[in-house]
Amino acid sequence: MANYLILKKKPSLNNNIYTSSRNLSSHNLQLDHVSLSTESLNEKDISDFIKDPDIEMIAPEMPVSLIKPFSSDKAETDTHSNWGLDAIKANDSQYTGKGVKVAILDTGIEKSHSAFSGTKITEKDFTAEGNGDSNGHGTHCAGTIFGRDVNGVRIGIAQGIECAFIAKVLGENGGGASDSLFKAMLWALECKSDIISMSLGFDFPGMVKYKVDNGWPVELATSTALESYRDNLRMFDSLIKLSQSHAGFGYHPLFVAASGNESRRDDDIKFKISTSLPACAEGVISVAAACKVAIEDYDIASFSNVNVSLSAPGVDIISAWPGNTLKTLDGTSMACPHVAGVAALWWEERRQQRVSPTAKNVTSQLYATARRNFLSSTTEYDYGQGLVTAP
């Protein structure tokens, strides 16, 4: 017996698929159109579920983890400039993200931090640890998206965001499970979040280790972990497809995810790893980490994964940290919220242009305005459409 996630379609009586039944227990989450449950299944159970025409997808539970950032070489006291905001032209934008709702799926948030003053923050814990952020990763990401100035230092891109939904899917140690992540995604949809940001990844090596520790030969453990990874990718594709297929109901959210930090260009230029899950799921904007080499010249960080949608500042990024402080970090985890923040500015811009914003037309703006002023040694494979740019 093993734990499986079951995504099931349900008939809708009123065509409003995002009216929630408010069934937010630790085991099940239901919207009018779909339900997601976690069940312990044997092989016969799995066969029976596969035959059910109402079952959209079944996937085994997998470990997930934050995409662990690197400590920056930049001194914590060096707060005179946040280069990332200049690079993406956020300081020149007339837009603030006003009226846009964002969801962050991460380690939680230090809600009392002065950076979040004036923002209505709704928290939901999917880890059983309680709300808050004893890790710091989620607080840092939130600060980049919508944080207010701290001690005269601007850290946030879309400072006009007044409503944020924070799903705590990773615990103090940065670990979690896929069932929490998928249920948090449905919760974010229930809340009608316009933009959903995820600086996390699926722990494939952790899944292999778990199998080996339970007596599996490493070759078989790797094969079964790969099967689980494949099925969870399909679960992501199914959930996002369901959200996109109902754009006609006036709701079509944008998903953004960090590409991952597994590449090792410093060791060998060939050591590039492709975008990891959930960033590699269909319909998700995957984000690489850029670094500054000169004024208006950028490179891709040596650790940043490839085959991405966009790039954004991800080295020497200063943002909010628990204890009402600031911290400087490197990682694609830091790049992802830059794209989420800029997407919020474009979301507002579309509304002001009397265009109903959707994931599709906002993504088109993000791609069309991205800049490719990177070193000649980098390619589109490294930076995607280019460096994200604010309207």
Which amino acids are annotated catalytic? 106, 137, 333
Site of tokens 């734990």: 3
DSSP string, 182-205: HHHHHHHHHTT-SEEEE-EEE-HH
Written as six digits, the tokens of 83 are 């280069």
Cβ–Cβ under 8 Å, residues 257 and 332: no
Q: What is the Cα–Cα distance from 329 to 198, expressed in whole angstroms?
A: 17
Cβ–Cβ under 8 Å, residues 67 and 332: yes
Opening angle at CA 360, ends 356 and 361, nearest 5: 50
CA distances for 84 relative to 87, 136, 197, 289, 365, angstroms:
5, 20, 18, 11, 19
Count of Cβ atoms closer than 10 Å to residue 143 Cβ: 27
Q: What is the Cα–Cα distance from 106 to 174, expressed in whole angstroms?
A: 9
164 pairs with which residues across the strands? Answer: 102, 121
Residues whose CB is less than 8 angstroms from the CB of residue 269 and which lie 6 or more positions away in sequence, other chains included: none
DSSP string, 213-265: HTT--HHHHHHHHHHHHHHHHHHHHHHHHHHHTTGGGT---EEEEE--S---T
CA distances for 182 relative to 44, 176, 386, angstroms:
24, 11, 29
Written as six digits, the tokens of 336 are 């992802």
